[in-house]
Amino acid sequence: HVQLVESGGGVVQPGRSLRLSCAASGFTFSSYAMHWVRQAPGKGLEWVAVIWFDGNNKYYTDSVKGRFTISRDSSKNTMYLQMNSLRAGDTAVYYCARDPHITAAGGLFDYWGQGTRVTVSS
């Protein structure tokens, strides 16, 4: 069965960096686009970034452009989110999610991880 497991969250000071990981299993990771979606405390869902199946296309929400970098390593069945210059507004639970469309990203999220919490605070 499909499983996504995030890790790497924690408490970090403003301006510092953090790298999140998403380990995938139960499907052919290299065939699917993958996303990061976040949820601030008590708030709704916000799409953050997507990476195509082959890593050649990456897109970000405006608020993280230039600060966050999405990547993947298909040899490890793992996706990453490198977060630099973190701000208080980045505080959230970060979920990785699979896009069910083969190769290209259709902007749908059919399987989600359990999330990893990121707190940006001094």
Q: Are 78 and 89 in contact (CB under 8 A)?
A: no
The reply on whether position 46 binds other proteins by CB under 8 A is yes
Selected from 44, 56, 66, 122, the binder of other proteins by CB under 8 A is 44
Residues 6 or more apart in contact with residue 15 via CB below 8 angstroms? 85, 86
> Total residues at the site for other proteins (CB under 8 A)?
17
- What is the per-residue DSSP string for the chain? --EEEEE--EEE-TT--EEEEEEEESS-GGGEEEEEEEE-TT--EEEEEEE-TTS--EEE-GGGTTTEEEEEETTTTEEEEEE-S--GGG-EEEEEEEEEEESS--S---EE---EEEEE--
- Tell me if 47 contacts other proteins by CB under 8 A: yes
Is residue 24 involved in binding other proteins (CB under 8 A)? no
- Pick from 7, 25, 85, 114 the residue near other proteins by CB under 8 A: 114
Establish if 73 lies at the interface with other proteins (CB under 8 A).
no
110 counts as binding other proteins under rule CB under 8 A? yes
Using CB under 8 A, pick the residue from 11, 89, 107, 121 that binds other proteins: 107
Question: Is residue 15 a contact point for other proteins (CB under 8 A)?
Answer: no
Residue 52 within binding range of other proteins, rule CB under 8 A:
no
Write out the residues near other proteins by the rule CB under 8 A. 44-47, 59, 61, 95, 106-115
